[in-house]
Amino acid sequence: MKNYDIIVLGGGPGGYVAAIKAAQLKQKVALIEKEVVGGICLNHGCIPTKAILKSAKTYDLFKHADKYGITVDPAVIGFDLDKIVDRKDDVVKKLTGGVALLLKKNGVDVYNGYGEVVSPTEVKVNDETLTTKNLIIATGGTAIVPPIPGAKEAYEKGFAVTSRELLQVRKAPKKLVIVGGGVIGVEFATIFKSLGTEVTIVEMAKTIITPMDDEVITAYTKSLTKDGVKILTEAAVKKIGTDEVTYEKDGKQETIKTDLVLIAVGIGPNTGAVSKLGLEMKGRGIKVDKHMGTSIKGVYAIGDVTGEHMLAHVASAEGVIAIENILGEEKSIDYNQIPAAIYGHPEIAMVGLTEREAKAQGLKYTVTKFPLAGNGKALADGETEGFIKMIKGSELDEILGAHIYAYNAVDMIGEIGLAMKLESTNYEVSETIHAHPSLSEIIMEASMDKPIHI
């Protein structure tokens, strides 16, 4: 029987980061993963979708090359989905291989198999029982197939898929119905619409991408609609057949014929491996305190299994926090400073509060917006759709929230996150000299009381 200081159950972006961090701090660590290290993010989510999105955006750029003065024969422009998927697989293989190497170099013992927690100090894997002083549960989540009539049968037959299966599709469907207008749904809508598929999104809520700021939602909805994506909000799917989807909207039932259905209604926490512990739950996820501790001393939970902030970068941050707290620190995360992103075209990135949330909390604030059309770099790049919106505290001039709807938005949001972490005022950000021409100048402009270039 092997003994460890820390056993990490699950090798996703939360688990493998926690394992490496613990090993760097001289702990004896075991990581248990039933599939390939990297979890959903590296293997079936964040990374593979971005690789395919890059191909879709490149194809779209070629189709509009004439606006940059480049002549391309429309007859020779095309795409090979086989090669796009092969490229995606190659990117994933390089990254997961890199993670495996990092674990090895840091001295983490990796067990490939299904880990079942027998007690707070014992985990069984591959007919071997490992013991530990501390346990970190990082088992992630699985795409939900909702109890819609016909959904389970359609999924079993391959007519309905989750994002995991759709990433392996090598022939673009002529028609695609997406059930769910969240991040996953709209990103796949962007991909397949670029590849010529007729895409329909069916969403129960009043809007798509509901966590985002209302002005961003409105702009993004218009953009998708302009690109040809049909968006049905306040519509409930009632049945999934063998070649069609039935939904109800405004009291009337309608049927859409389709070649494929993407079910993108959310992720459910994977808690089966720890069912014997009797942990206190919060909804479907494991309840944790601000130190990532569970209801059992020495047992921690991070990432999607908590059912809270289901983002890869949150899981990684929580993994580091858990390790530091195991070793005697008093660390926690300010979830208000966690960025969120949607990788469409343009991209969306946000950090902090939406205006809707600031208003609901009764905060005194002002709003400054700056359009990409006023930015020289955006004009030169031919990417003028979008804006930045800053929500500013009226009394202390603090950054309450920031919302960027623009190409490369995700790469810029980190600057605002850092400013919030350092408790910088909007004035201090506006006084920070930005390179010219650069897209990041929109942050400087929006941080001013009155932007210069509008």
Read off the DSSP letter of residue 175.
E
434 marked as part of a ligand binding site: no
186 marked as part of a ligand binding site: yes
313 marked as part of a ligand binding site: yes
CA-nearest of 415, 10, 45 to 266 is 45
355 marked as part of a ligand binding site: no
266 marked as part of a ligand binding site: yes
Ordered DSSP codes for 319-355:
HHHHHHHHTT------GGG--EEE-SSSEEEEEE--H
CA pair distance 285, 396, nearest whole angstrom: 37
180 marked as part of a ligand binding site: yes
431 marked as part of a ligand binding site: no
291 neighbors 331 (Cβ within 8 angstroms): yes
187 marked as part of a ligand binding site: yes
Q: Which helix (H) or strand (E) holds 31?
A: strand 29-33
65 marked as part of a ligand binding site: no
CA pair distance 428, 439, nearest whole angstrom: 19
183 marked as part of a ligand binding site: yes
Q: Which helix (H) or strand (E) holds 131?
A: strand 128-137
Burial of 289 (0-12, 13-18, 19+ CB in 10 A): exposed
304 marked as part of a ligand binding site: yes
50 marked as part of a ligand binding site: yes
Burial of 48 (0-12, 13-18, 19+ CB in 10 A): buried
* 3-state DSSP helix/strand/coil % of the chain, to nearest 5: 35, 25, 35
307 marked as part of a ligand binding site: no
Any idea how long the chain is?
454
109 marked as part of a ligand binding site: no
Other Cβ atoms closer than 10 A to 340: 19
Q: Which of 345, 434, 436, 453 is catalytic?
A: 436
Alpha helices in 106-182 (DSSP H): 151-157, 163-166
CA-nearest of 192, 237, 183, 228 to 210 is 183
Residues 371-400 as b or e (16 or more Cβ within 10 Å = b)? bbebbebbeeeebebbbbbbbbbeeebbbb
Is 436 among the residues known to form the active site? yes
| Residues annotated as part of the active site | 436
Instruction: Detail the residues annotated as belonging to a binding site for FAD.
Output: 50, 115, 304, 310-313
Instruction: Detail the residues annotated as belonging to a binding site.
Output: 50, 115, 180-187, 203, 266, 304, 310-313
Instruction: Detail the residues annotated as belonging to a binding site for NAD(+).
Output: 180-187, 203, 266
